[in-house]
Structure 1
Amino acid sequence: MSIKKRYLKSKPICKCTFTLPKDAAPKAETVTLVGDFNDWSREKTPMKRLKTGDFKLEMDLEAGQQYQYRYLIDGRVWENDWEADDYVQVPELAVENSVVRL
Protein backbone atom coordinates (compact mmCIF):
# COMPACT_ATOMS: atom_id res chain seq x y z
CA MET A 1 0.00 0.00 0.00
CA SER A 2 1.16 3.45 -0.55
CA ILE A 3 0.17 7.06 -0.90
CA LYS A 4 1.81 9.13 -3.58
CA LYS A 5 1.65 12.86 -2.80
CA ARG A 6 2.00 15.62 -5.39
CA TYR A 7 1.63 19.20 -4.13
CA LEU A 8 0.33 21.89 -6.48
CA LYS A 9 2.27 25.15 -6.68
CA SER A 10 -0.77 27.20 -7.70
CA LYS A 11 -3.16 26.06 -4.94
CA PRO A 12 -2.93 24.65 -1.39
CA ILE A 13 -3.89 21.22 -2.73
CA CYS A 14 -2.16 17.87 -2.67
CA LYS A 15 -3.03 15.29 -5.31
CA CYS A 16 -2.96 12.04 -3.35
CA THR A 17 -2.92 8.69 -5.10
CA PHE A 18 -4.01 5.87 -2.79
CA THR A 19 -3.13 2.31 -3.84
CA LEU A 20 -4.29 -0.92 -2.25
CA PRO A 21 -2.14 -3.76 -3.64
CA LYS A 22 -3.58 -7.06 -4.77
CA ASP A 23 -1.72 -8.79 -1.89
CA ALA A 24 -3.82 -6.87 0.65
CA ALA A 25 -7.11 -8.05 -0.84
CA PRO A 26 -6.44 -10.80 -3.40
CA LYS A 27 -10.09 -11.78 -3.89
CA ALA A 28 -11.64 -8.31 -3.62
CA GLU A 29 -14.33 -7.33 -6.09
CA THR A 30 -14.65 -3.74 -4.83
CA VAL A 31 -12.66 -1.40 -2.60
CA THR A 32 -13.81 1.97 -1.31
CA LEU A 33 -11.60 4.61 0.32
CA VAL A 34 -13.44 5.83 3.42
CA GLY A 35 -12.34 8.65 5.73
CA ASP A 36 -12.59 12.16 7.12
CA PHE A 37 -12.42 13.61 3.60
CA ASN A 38 -15.77 12.04 2.60
CA ASP A 39 -17.60 11.98 5.95
CA TRP A 40 -16.85 8.25 6.23
CA SER A 41 -19.17 7.47 3.33
CA ARG A 42 -19.04 3.87 2.13
CA GLU A 43 -20.16 4.89 -1.37
CA LYS A 44 -18.56 8.24 -2.32
CA THR A 45 -15.01 7.15 -3.24
CA PRO A 46 -14.83 3.76 -4.96
CA MET A 47 -11.37 2.75 -6.10
CA LYS A 48 -10.57 1.59 -9.64
CA ARG A 49 -9.34 -1.97 -10.10
CA LEU A 50 -6.24 -2.13 -12.29
CA LYS A 51 -5.22 -5.01 -14.58
CA THR A 52 -2.61 -5.94 -11.97
CA GLY A 53 -5.35 -6.54 -9.39
CA ASP A 54 -4.34 -3.45 -7.40
CA PHE A 55 -6.96 -0.80 -6.57
CA LYS A 56 -6.14 2.87 -7.11
CA LEU A 57 -7.76 6.29 -6.52
CA GLU A 58 -6.50 9.86 -6.89
CA MET A 59 -8.01 12.59 -4.72
CA ASP A 60 -7.37 16.31 -4.29
CA LEU A 61 -6.96 17.02 -0.58
CA GLU A 62 -6.21 20.27 1.22
CA ALA A 63 -2.53 20.67 2.06
CA GLY A 64 -1.55 21.33 5.66
CA GLN A 65 -4.18 18.93 6.99
CA GLN A 66 -4.23 15.36 8.22
CA TYR A 67 -6.96 12.84 7.48
CA GLN A 68 -7.98 9.54 9.01
CA TYR A 69 -9.02 6.81 6.60
CA ARG A 70 -9.42 3.08 5.95
CA TYR A 71 -10.08 0.82 2.99
CA LEU A 72 -13.44 -1.00 2.84
CA ILE A 73 -13.18 -4.24 0.91
CA ASP A 74 -16.33 -5.72 -0.64
CA GLY A 75 -18.45 -3.62 1.71
CA ARG A 76 -17.61 -5.70 4.77
CA VAL A 77 -13.87 -6.01 5.51
CA TRP A 78 -11.85 -3.04 6.80
CA GLU A 79 -8.13 -2.73 6.08
CA ASN A 80 -5.60 -0.13 7.17
CA ASP A 81 -2.87 1.25 4.93
CA TRP A 82 0.34 -0.63 5.71
CA GLU A 83 2.39 2.45 4.83
CA ALA A 84 0.27 5.20 6.42
CA ASP A 85 2.00 8.25 7.85
CA ASP A 86 0.59 7.36 11.26
CA TYR A 87 -2.21 5.47 13.03
CA VAL A 88 -4.72 6.66 15.59
CA GLN A 89 -6.72 4.58 18.08
CA VAL A 90 -10.50 4.81 17.98
CA PRO A 91 -11.39 3.43 21.44
CA GLU A 92 -15.17 3.42 20.97
CA LEU A 93 -14.77 1.11 17.95
CA ALA A 94 -11.70 -0.77 19.24
CA VAL A 95 -9.84 -0.13 15.97
CA GLU A 96 -6.99 1.92 14.56
CA ASN A 97 -7.39 4.27 11.62
CA SER A 98 -4.68 5.10 9.11
CA VAL A 99 -3.55 8.73 8.95
CA VAL A 100 -2.22 10.72 5.98
CA ARG A 101 -0.43 14.01 6.74
CA LEU A 102 -0.22 16.64 4.04
Structure 2
Amino acid sequence: MLERKQLKGRTQITFVLPQDIPEGPVSVVGDFNHWNPAAHPMEPRGDGARAASVTLPAHSTHSFRYLAAGDYWFDEEDADGHDGTNSRVHA
Protein backbone atom coordinates (compact mmCIF):
# COMPACT_ATOMS: atom_id res chain seq x y z
CA MET A 1 0.00 0.00 0.00
CA LEU A 2 1.16 3.54 -0.72
CA GLU A 3 0.32 6.51 1.48
CA ARG A 4 0.92 10.08 0.36
CA LYS A 5 1.35 13.36 2.22
CA GLN A 6 1.60 16.57 0.23
CA LEU A 7 4.33 18.96 1.33
CA LYS A 8 5.42 22.26 -0.19
CA GLY A 9 6.82 21.26 -3.60
CA ARG A 10 7.33 17.67 -2.46
CA THR A 11 5.38 14.53 -1.70
CA GLN A 12 6.12 12.12 1.12
CA ILE A 13 5.46 8.56 -0.02
CA THR A 14 5.11 5.89 2.66
CA PHE A 15 5.42 2.29 1.49
CA VAL A 16 3.42 -0.04 3.76
CA LEU A 17 3.44 -3.84 4.02
CA PRO A 18 1.89 -6.30 6.51
CA GLN A 19 4.14 -7.17 9.44
CA ASP A 20 4.99 -10.69 8.32
CA ILE A 21 4.28 -10.96 4.58
CA PRO A 22 6.88 -11.77 3.47
CA GLU A 23 8.75 -12.87 6.57
CA GLY A 24 12.07 -11.28 7.46
CA PRO A 25 13.56 -7.90 6.58
CA VAL A 26 12.30 -5.96 3.56
CA SER A 27 13.66 -2.79 1.95
CA VAL A 28 12.22 -0.38 -0.58
CA VAL A 29 14.67 0.08 -3.44
CA GLY A 30 14.26 2.36 -6.41
CA ASP A 31 15.70 5.03 -8.62
CA PHE A 32 15.20 7.54 -5.77
CA ASN A 33 17.84 5.74 -3.64
CA HIS A 34 20.08 4.40 -6.44
CA TRP A 35 18.64 0.89 -5.89
CA ASN A 36 20.45 0.69 -2.54
CA PRO A 37 18.80 -1.92 -0.25
CA ALA A 38 20.31 -0.32 2.86
CA ALA A 39 18.79 3.12 2.18
CA HIS A 40 15.13 2.48 3.13
CA PRO A 41 14.57 -0.62 5.28
CA MET A 42 10.99 -1.10 6.37
CA GLU A 43 10.43 -0.55 10.08
CA PRO A 44 7.56 -1.69 12.34
CA ARG A 45 4.89 0.87 13.14
CA GLY A 46 2.20 0.99 15.82
CA ASP A 47 -0.62 -0.48 13.73
CA GLY A 48 1.20 -3.79 13.19
CA ALA A 49 2.36 -2.98 9.66
CA ARG A 50 5.87 -2.02 8.61
CA ALA A 51 6.74 1.02 6.56
CA ALA A 52 9.42 3.17 4.99
CA SER A 53 9.01 6.76 3.77
CA VAL A 54 10.74 8.83 1.12
CA THR A 55 10.23 12.45 0.16
CA LEU A 56 10.20 13.08 -3.58
CA PRO A 57 9.78 16.16 -5.78
CA ALA A 58 6.11 16.84 -6.51
CA HIS A 59 4.87 15.73 -9.95
CA SER A 60 7.72 13.24 -10.44
CA THR A 61 7.50 9.55 -11.35
CA HIS A 62 9.80 6.85 -9.97
CA SER A 63 10.49 3.13 -10.37
CA PHE A 64 10.79 0.90 -7.30
CA ARG A 65 10.52 -2.65 -5.99
CA TYR A 66 10.66 -4.38 -2.64
CA LEU A 67 13.62 -6.59 -1.72
CA ALA A 68 13.11 -9.23 0.97
CA ALA A 69 15.46 -11.75 2.58
CA GLY A 70 16.82 -14.41 0.27
CA ASP A 71 17.12 -11.98 -2.68
CA TYR A 72 13.32 -12.10 -3.14
CA TRP A 73 12.20 -9.12 -5.26
CA PHE A 74 8.51 -8.25 -5.55
CA ASP A 75 6.24 -5.47 -6.74
CA GLU A 76 3.60 -3.29 -5.10
CA GLU A 77 0.16 -4.47 -6.19
CA ASP A 78 -1.34 -1.02 -5.55
CA ALA A 79 1.38 0.89 -7.42
CA ASP A 80 0.39 3.72 -9.76
CA GLY A 81 1.64 1.59 -12.64
CA HIS A 82 4.22 -0.94 -13.77
CA ASP A 83 6.87 -0.67 -16.48
CA GLY A 84 7.33 -4.38 -17.05
CA THR A 85 9.92 -5.07 -14.36
CA ASN A 86 9.26 -2.38 -11.76
CA SER A 87 6.41 -0.76 -9.90
CA ARG A 88 5.88 2.96 -10.57
CA VAL A 89 4.85 5.72 -8.17
CA HIS A 90 3.74 9.26 -9.03
CA ALA A 91 4.70 11.79 -6.38
Which range, TM-score by smaller chain?
Answer: 0.7 to 0.9
* Aligned positions, number: 90
Match of 2:74 among 72, 76, 79: 79
Q: Is the 8 A contact 2:29 2:40 kept in 1?
A: yes
Let me know the Cα RMSD of the aligned residues.
1.6
| Structure 2 counterparts to residues 1-102 of structure 1, below 5 A | 2-8=1-7, 11-22=8-19, 24-25=21-22, 28-50=23-45, 52=48, 54-74=49-69, 76-89=71-84, 96-102=85-91
Deviation track 1:1-35 (CA, whole Å, cap 9, x = no partner) reads x1111111xx211011110124641xx22010000
TM-score (norm 2): 0.88
Deviation track 1:36-92 (CA, whole Å, cap 9, x = no partner) reads 10000121111103462x321121111110000000011510110010000002xxx
Equivalent residue of 1:37, what SS? Answer: helix
Q: Which has the larger radius of gyration?
A: 1
Structure 2 segments unaligned to the other structure (5+ residues): none
Structure 1 segments unaligned to the other structure (5+ residues): 90-95
Identity across aligned pairs (percent)?
A: 31
Equivalent residue of 2:83, what SS? Answer: strand
The residue number in structure 2 matching 1:93 is none
TM-score (norm 1): 0.79
